[in-house]
Amino acid sequence: MSNTTPRVRELNLYRQYFDLVAAGTKTIEVRVKYPHLADLAAGDTIRFRIKGTEETCKVTVKRVTEYSSFEALLDGEGPSNVNPTATRDEQLARIRAIYPPAKEALGAMAIRIGLLP
């Protein structure tokens, strides 16, 4: 029997992205398909935290879509959903500064999120 109970995950975010999520303007979170995120699914809850602080915000996962690259992810999801304050090229550079090519090779995940009260 499989466990389909929604889970709560805790993930760190940089301040600039946390503020966009907390404001409800960032609706796609970008992650690498690390093994601990491979089973992330619609209905799960993510509690985002600014590392080293007690500041958190909770979102529900609406869907998870896998892409072969960050470029494909931005093209498929629309850059304004990932970060409405930066251009596509700026976002691609920032994402790749966080996740180098070896990490991107694991696969890119677009996590559609909705802010919880």
For 82-94, letters b (16+ CB in 10 Å) and e give bbeebeeeebbeb
Residue 47 has a CB neighbour count (10 Å cut-off) of 13
- The answer regarding whether domain 8-115 maps to CATH 3.40.50.1000 reads no
pLDDT (tens digit per residue) in 11-20? 999 999 999 9
CB 73 within 8 A of CB 110: yes
pLDDT (tens digit per residue) in 37-88? 999 999 999 999 998 899 999 999 999 999 999 999 999 999 999 999 999 9
Q: Encoding tokens for residue 114? A: 């909705």
pLDDT (tens digit per residue) in 36-46? 999 999 999 99
